[in-house]
């Protein structure tokens, strides 16, 4: 297993539409293990494959409250098949360091996905877990959380992040 570097906005891989997984092979299994270790090390609650540089439709969600903090579940080719209600709550992202914003999301969702054994499953979620799922599935569609804000807020954050990325590049 390995801890992978987490890609930061405006890295191009974060803007791509990720490719569906057709076969769950050793490469996919290893990627999921590495994503788990990476999320745990970063103390994240969810992670999408593109954040680790691989443009494939895989997300993982941390199961907080469990005895083992490293426990997570993986969702391969996840798709939202039902969304209900609305909730405004604060979000951050491991690929957008030091920025948080209130984002409007569905309160309750149902997701269909494949597990590691390629079995088709469904998951219903509400509140924080529903929010994490929607945030991570957005990553598979090349969307970052601040792109769901009003245009003024979105442009302001983008300008600041691009400025910071340029500053960091010229400093290293
Ligand atoms: Zn994120």
Domain edges within the chain? 12-171
Q: Is the pLDDT of residue 101 over 60?
A: yes
Quick one: what percent of the chain has pLDDT higher than 90? Answer: 87
Q: How far is the CA of 156 from the centre of ligand 1 (A)?
A: 18
Looking at residue 68, its pLDDT comes to 60
Looking at residue 64, its pLDDT comes to 62
pLDDT digits (tens, 9 = 90+) for 22-77: 999 999 999 999 999 999 999 999 999 999 999 999 999 997 655 565 689 999 99
Q: How far, in Å, are 22, 133, 141 from residue 150 at the CA level?
A: 36, 21, 19
Q: How far is the CA of 53 from the centre of ligand 1 (A)?
A: 13
Q: How far is the CA of 164 from the centre of ligand 1 (A)?
A: 18
Q: How far is the CA of 92 from the centre of ligand 1 (A)?
A: 7
Q: Considering only CA atoms, which of 37, 14, 11 is closest in space to residue 162?
A: 11
Q: Under a CB-based contact definition with an 8 Å cutoff, are residues 53 and 16 in contact? A: no
Could you please state the CATH topology (level 3) that the domain comprising 12-171 is classified under. Answer: Peptide Deformylase (3.90.45)
* The two three-digit tokens of residue 140, written as one number: 């598979």
Active-site annotation holder among 29, 37, 67, 136? 136
- Residues 112, 80: Cα–Cα separation, whole Å: 6
136 is catalytic: yes
């Amino acid at each position: 297993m390995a801890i992978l570097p987490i890609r930061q906005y405006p890295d191009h891989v974060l803007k791509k539409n990720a490719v569906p997984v057709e076969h769950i092979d050793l490469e996919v299994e290893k990627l999921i293990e590495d994503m788990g270790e990476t999320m745990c090390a970063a103390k994240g609650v969810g992670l999408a494959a593109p954040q680790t540089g691989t443009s494939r439709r895989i997300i993982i969600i941390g199961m907080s409250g469990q005895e083992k903090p490293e426990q997570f579940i993986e969702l391969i080719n996840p798709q939202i098949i039902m969304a209900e209600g609305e909730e405004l709550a604060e979000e951050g992202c491991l690929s957008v360091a030091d920025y948080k914003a209130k984002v409007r999301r569905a309160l309750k969702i149902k997701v269909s996905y494949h597990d590691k054994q390629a079995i088709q499953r469904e998951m219903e979620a509400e509140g924080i877990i529903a929010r994490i799922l929607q945030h991570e599935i957005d990553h598979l569609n090349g969307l970052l959380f601040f792109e769901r804000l009003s245009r003024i807020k979105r442009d302001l954050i983008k300008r600041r992040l691009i400025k910071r990325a340029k500053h960091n590049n010229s400093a290293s």
